[in-house]
Structures are given as C-alpha cells and as structure tokens.
C-alpha cells in the first residue's frame, strides 16, 4: 500500500457512471442495500421473537430482558467494527474484509432460521456480530476512497449511499416482518439470509470493474514480524476469553444481566481507549491530532442521537405492539411495519438534503452545526411521543399517526447527522487509521445501544412520560451546547468542512 495514495486510488476508479458519481458507488450502493435488507429484516422481528411466548414461536423471555438483549445485540454489532477495521487496515484490505463479513452474516441468519433454542440464538449472534463488524465500517470506508480528496460530490455521494442503505431497510420490515409475524419467525430469518447472499453476488460480480484500487490493499499493513506477533496475541486472547466463558457457564455464574452490564461498560471504555491510542500514535500528525480533538464532541453528539434513534427497534417496537391502535383506516397494521417508516422517510428526503447541501455550497452549516440540528430533531421526536399519554392516559391505545410523526422527526435529524458524520469521518481520519476511524464512528452506535441496554428497564406505560421527556430534553440541551461550540470545533478541523 506504500506506493498507493488517495489520488492514485481515486484515479483508478471510473469517475462517471452512477448519477454523476463514480461507478464504484453502484457496487457499494447495492452491496449495502442487501446487507441492510438482511440486518433490518432480522431486527424487525428480533425483539418479538425474544419476548413472544414459545406457543407463538418465540423464546418466551421477559420483555424487559428482551429489550436489553436487543440493545446489547446492536451494541456488539457496531462494537465489532473495531475488529473489522483493524483487519482491513493491517491484514486484508477493505474489499476482502467486506466479502468475508458478508459470508459470516449470511450463516448467522441461517443459524437463526433453524428452530432451536436460546443457544442457537447466541450462535447466530456471534456470527452476525463478527460479520457486520467486518463488512459495515469497511464498505463505508471504500465509499470515501472512490472520490478525490477535495471532491465536492463526496457529501452528496454519501447521501446517495445512505439512500441505498435505507432502501434495503425499508423493504425488509415489510417483507421479512410480514412473513415472520404472520407465518414463522424462522422463515423470516431465512429471507434475511437470502438477502445477504444477493448482496455478496452483486459485490463479487461488479467490484473488479467498478472499484479499481479502492480497498485492494491494507492502509497500514503489518510487517512479517508484527504479523506473527499479532497472530500469537489474537490466538492467545481468544483461548483465554473462551476459557473464561466456559468457566462462568459451567459454574453457573454466567447471567444475562451480568453479560448486559459488562457489554454496556465496554461500550464506553473501548471508544475512549481508541481515541487515546490514535491520538498518541507516532503515525498521527499534529494536524491529525487537532482533527481528532474536533471529532470528540461530534462522537458524543452521535451517541446521544443514536441512543434515541435506535430505540425505534426496541422501545418504539414494543410501543407499536402494546400501546398502538393497529386497526386503522380499514387495515390491520403489523407492528413490524413501523420500522419501515424511518428508511421510507430517508428515501424520500435524502435526495432533498443532497441537493440542499450542494445548493448551499460554502454557505451550508458547518459539520458541528448539522450535528446540533440532528440532536434538536431527535429530542423533539421523543417529546412528541409523550403527548398521547398526556392527553389519553397510559392505558388507552394510541393513534398510529403519533408514531409516524415521531419517526419523521428523528429522520430529519438523521439526515442532518448520519451521512454528514460518515463523510466527516473519512475527512478527519488519520491516514494510518482510515478504516479504524470509520470503526470508531460506528462505536458511537455501540455506545448508544450499550446506554440503551441500561435505560430501557426504566420504561413502562406508567413511566413513559418521564422516560420520553427526560431523554428528549437531554438531547435538546446537548444540541444547543454543540451549536454554541461549533465555531471552535471548526477551527480544530484545520480546513476540513
């Protein structure tokens, strides 16, 4: 990789061919489309599979525990991006990592499709967690590589890429959710596996022609000596971890509650250590250190935002199932369908935002200001959902349009924050840690869902006004603080906009 630089990589990619963007965007768009179809199809029915009774095809877990497990599942999925980013940067390169990740994800969904027990669920959990860690941050990192460094199309390209993500996420709750809720959870999980298989086919058939040198080699490869040492450390660590798990299981000391708390703590410790490691690395320049400092408040803002947004598949999924009037306008609504609202609104609005940022050009809000807008809309989405309980009490069924409005508001915030955050991460990343910094971006989601695993236990119909109110106000306050600090953050970015 030493002889490759960002410009040479971009020059190897056909620069016109997909809505005026590099041809590689086609490959990455549809790979991520099918990967998100599989993941969000699984997520659409996961929490119901966990807490529905065995007689209804579920595992019969207590609802509060099921919500926490679903949050921890999401946290581990994004936390594993550390592994995927390191493997891509030091061993395989991003494109090989994407392919291996897709294989693991597919087999994880196949494991879920086999009628079994909680043990089979944990097998699938390991496969999907590791697979998503290999694929998710690396496919996004390749998007950044196919553009020249100062290409004004980059933010718009990430918005188009983000629309591909959400197209898959929109269809999957309607298809997988309907099959899973009406026929069989396991058949729904099988459809998710088929979706990932289609994504792998698209990637392998088109990558050589469309991606050029993007992702073809590690950004910071291990030397022969470092490689041998790394394999020894990784192998030894894996054996020790496996031994600890076996001891806890055999002695009966392993508990789901303890597991949830452990992962929640790691969700905050790991990104902190990551920042420290990259900041003090000799491979990080003075300018890159300044940009990492600027990245910290953006990271914290992202944690707050995703803590709200990710509850769409846990708290709001339960709210749709237990608190919402599902017979509406002459049709019966499946509770899983509500999870299509978020990607549906993004599909509709993402082109508008892509056009808006290009239209505004240098007059558009700074990265930090866009993040602050994201937090303001996220807070409003939770404040809106507490109104039905205020007007109708905590026992009456709620008009589904309240949920629709809540999802709409959080999507406005997501379009201000998420594609901008992806783009900013590729710009602010130290050169030696490009894929790993993208992993750090996804650690914001890991930390958010780790936080959710601790707070969802405080939710109940009786406490929902306080629950939604406290979290919503906290997001508004943090958004205002970030807006005030935006000029200072911009200075620390050293020319990046």
For range 194-215, the mean pLDDT? 84
Closest to 319 measured CA to CA, from 445, 198, 380, 404? 404
pTM attached to this predicted model: 0.81
3-state secondary structure of 314: coil
* Chain segment 105-117, per-residue pLDDT in tens: 999 999 998 887 7
Backbone angles phi, psi at 321, to 5 degrees: -75, -40
Residue-level pLDDT at 485: 92
Q: Does residue 62 belong to any structural domain of this protein?
A: yes
Retrieve residue 379's tokens.
């807070």
pLDDT range class, residue 140, cuts 50, 70, 90: confident
8 A C-beta contact, residue 410 and residue 309:
yes
Would you call 456 helix, strand, or coil by DSSP?
helix
Tens of pLDDT, residue by residue over 255-279, are 777 778 888 888 888 888 888 888 8
- Sign of the CA dihedral 205, 133, 430, 304? positive
Query: Between 63-79 and 434-455, two packed helices, what is the crossing angle to 10 degrees?
Result: 170
Average pLDDT on 146-150 reads: 74
User: Is residue 226 included in any domain, yes or no?
Assistant: no
**Burial call 7-28: b when 16+ CB within 10 Å, e when fewer:** eebbebbebeebeebbbbbbbb
**Residue 394, pLDDT score:** 65
State the DSSP code for 493.
T
Q: What is the pLDDT of residues 213-229, one digit of tens each?
A: 776 677 777 777 776 77
Element of type H or E holding 331: strand 331-332
Q: How many CA atoms lie within 13 A of 489 on its CB side?
A: 25
User: What is the H or E stretch that residue 328 is in?
Assistant: strand 327-328
The residue-averaged pLDDT of 237-245 equals: 71
Alpha carbon distance 255, 359 (integer Å): 54
Distance between CA atoms of 472 and 369, rounded to whole angstroms? Answer: 19
pLDDT for 398 beyond 80: yes
Task: Report CA-CA distances (Å) from 206 to 30, 137, 164, 165.
Answer: 10, 20, 16, 18
Question: Is 476's pLDDT higher than 60?
Answer: yes
Mean pLDDT on 334-348: 90
**Confidence at residue 5, expressed as pLDDT on a 0 to 100 scale:** 65
8 A C-beta contact, residue 342 and residue 410 = yes
Supply the mean pLDDT for the chain. Answer: 84
Decide if pLDDT at 2 tops 70: no
pLDDT of residue 249: 63
Closest CA to 314 of 59, 35, 73: 73
Q: Please indicate, yes or no, if residue 367 is contained in any of the structural domains.
A: yes
Q: Is residue 117 part of a domain?
A: yes
Is 290 within 8 Å of 496 (Cβ atoms)?
no
Angle formed at CA 468 by CA 341 and CA 333, multiple of 5 degrees: 30
User: Which pLDDT value is given to residue 356?
Assistant: 85
Identify the residue with better confidence: 495 or 358. Answer: 358
Tokens of 335: 């509770």
Secondary structure of residue 151 in the 3-state scheme: coil
CATH code, domain with 466: 1.20.1250.20
Per-residue pLDDT at 435: 64
Number of domains forming the structure of the chain:
1
Backbone angles phi, psi at 473, to 5 degrees: -65, -40
Q: For 252-260, which contacts have Cβ atoms below 8 Å and span 24 or more sequence positions?
A: 256/65, 256/68, 256/69, 257/65, 259/72, 260/68, 260/69, 260/72, 260/453, 260/454
Token code pair at residue 274: 């990551």
- Would you state the structure tokens that stand for residue 461, as one six-digit string? 């119909």
- Report yes or no on 53 lying in a domain: yes
Contact 94, 211 (CB under 8 A): no
Tell me how far apart the terminal alpha carbons of the chain are, to the nearest angstrom.
27
Identify the pLDDT of residue 138. 83
* Range of the structural domain that residue 171 is part of: 7-220+252-492
Q: How many Å apart are CA 306 and CA 342, to the nearest integer? A: 13
Q: What share of the chain is helix, strand, coil (3-state, %, to 5)?
A: 80, 0, 20
Residue 313: predicted pLDDT: 87
* pLDDT given for residue 16 in this prediction: 74
Report the pLDDT averaged over residues 37-56: 89
pLDDT at 100: 92
Nearest residue to 165 via CA among 74, 29, 39: 29
pLDDT tens digits along 19-43: 677 877 888 888 899 999 999 999 9
Query: pLDDT tens, 54-107?
Result: 878 888 888 888 888 888 888 888 888 778 878 887 778 888 888 999 999 999
Q: CA dist 379 to 47, 435, 466, 485, Å?
A: 24, 31, 13, 19
Residue closest to 163 by CA, chosen among 301, 309, 32, 294: 32
Residues 367-393 have a mean pLDDT of 88
469 is a domain residue: yes
What SS3 class is residue 494?
coil
pLDDT confidence tier of residue 193, bands split at 50, 70 and 90: very high
Residue 147 has pLDDT above 80, yes or no: no
| Position 3 confidence tier, pLDDT thresholds 50, 70, 90 | very low
Say what percent of the chain tops pLDDT 70: 91
Query: Looking at the predicted structure, is the pLDDT value of residue 353 above 50?
Result: yes
| Average pLDDT, integer, range 289-294 | 87
Q: Does some domain include residue 233? A: no
Q: Is residue 287 assigned to a domain?
A: yes
CA dihedral 99, 101, 103, 105 (to 10 degrees): -140
4 pLDDT above the threshold of 60? no
- How many alpha carbons lie under 13 Å from residue 281 in its C-beta half-sphere? 20
> Which of 49-63, 155-169, 222-236 is predicted least confidently?
222-236
Mean pLDDT of 47-56: 86
Selected residue with higher pLDDT from 420 and 229: 420
Q: How far apart are CA 99 and CA 438, in angstroms?
A: 17
| Nearest by Cα to 98 from 166, 11, 44, 24 | 24
Q: How confident is the model at residue 284 (pLDDT cuts 50, 70, 90)?
A: confident
Task: Please report the pLDDT score of residue 357 as a whole number.
Answer: 79
């Amino acid at each position: 990789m030493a002889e490759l630089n960002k410009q040479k990589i971009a020059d190897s990619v056909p620069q016109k061919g997909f809505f005026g963007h590099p041809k590689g965007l086609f490959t990455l768009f549809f790979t991520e489309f099918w990967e998100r179809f599989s993941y969000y199809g699984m997520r659409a029915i996961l929490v119901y599979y966990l807490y529905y009774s065995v007689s209804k095809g579920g595992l019969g877990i207590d609802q509060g525990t099921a919500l926490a497990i679903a949050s921890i599942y999401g946290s581990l999925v994004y936390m594993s991006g550390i592994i995927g980013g390191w493997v891509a940067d030091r061993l395989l390169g991003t494109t090989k990592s994407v392919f291996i990740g897709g294989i693991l994800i597919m087999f994880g969904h196949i494991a879920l499709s086999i009628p079994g027990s909680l043990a089979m669920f944990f097998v699938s959990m390991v496969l999907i967690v590791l697979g998503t860690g290999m694929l998710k941050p690396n496919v996004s990192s390749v998007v950044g590589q196919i553009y020249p460094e100062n290409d004004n199309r980059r933010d718009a390209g990430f918005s188009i890429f983000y629309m591909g993500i959400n197209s898959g996420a929109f269809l999957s709750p309607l298809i997988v959710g309907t099959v899973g809720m009406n026929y069989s959870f396991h058949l729904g999980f099988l459809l998710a596996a088929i979706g990932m298989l289609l994504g792998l086919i698209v990637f392998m058939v088109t990558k050589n022609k469309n991606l050029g040198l993007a992702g073809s080699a590690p950004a910071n490869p291990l030397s022969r000596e470092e490689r041998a040492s790394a394999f020894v450390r990784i192998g030894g660590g894996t054996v020790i971890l496996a031994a600890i798990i076996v001891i806890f299981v055999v002695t009966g000391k392993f508990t789901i509650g303890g597991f949830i708390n452990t992962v929640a703590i790691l969700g905050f410790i790991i990104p902190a250590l990551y920042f420290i490691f990259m900041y003090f690395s000799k491979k990080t320049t003075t300018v890159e250190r300044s940009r990492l400092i600027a990245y910290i408040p953006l990271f914290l803002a992202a944690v707050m935002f995703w803590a709200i947004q990710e509850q769409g598949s846990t708290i709001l999924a339960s709210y749709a199932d237990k608190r919402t009037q599902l017979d509406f306008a002459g049709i019966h609504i499946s509770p899983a369908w509500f999870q299509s609202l978020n990607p549906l609104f993004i599909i509709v609005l993402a082109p508008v935002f892509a056009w808006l940022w290009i239209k505004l050009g240098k007059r558009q809000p700074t990265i930090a200001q866009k993040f602050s807008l994201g937090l303001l809309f996220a807070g409003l989405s939770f404040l809106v959902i507490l109104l039905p309980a205020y007007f109708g009490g905590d026992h009456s069924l709620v008009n589904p349009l309240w949920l629709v409005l809540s999802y709409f508001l959080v999507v406005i915030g997501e379009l201000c924050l998420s594609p901008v955050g992806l783009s900013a991460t590729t710009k602010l990343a130290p050169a030696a840690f490009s894929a790993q910094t993208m992993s750090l971006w996804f650690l914001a989601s890991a930390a958010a869902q780790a936080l959710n695993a601790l707070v969802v236990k405080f939710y109940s119909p009786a406490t929902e006004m306080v629950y939604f109110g406290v979290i919503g106000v906290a997001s508004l306050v943090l958004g205002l603080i970030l807006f005030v600090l935006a000029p200072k953050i911009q200075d620390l970015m050293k020319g990046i906009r």
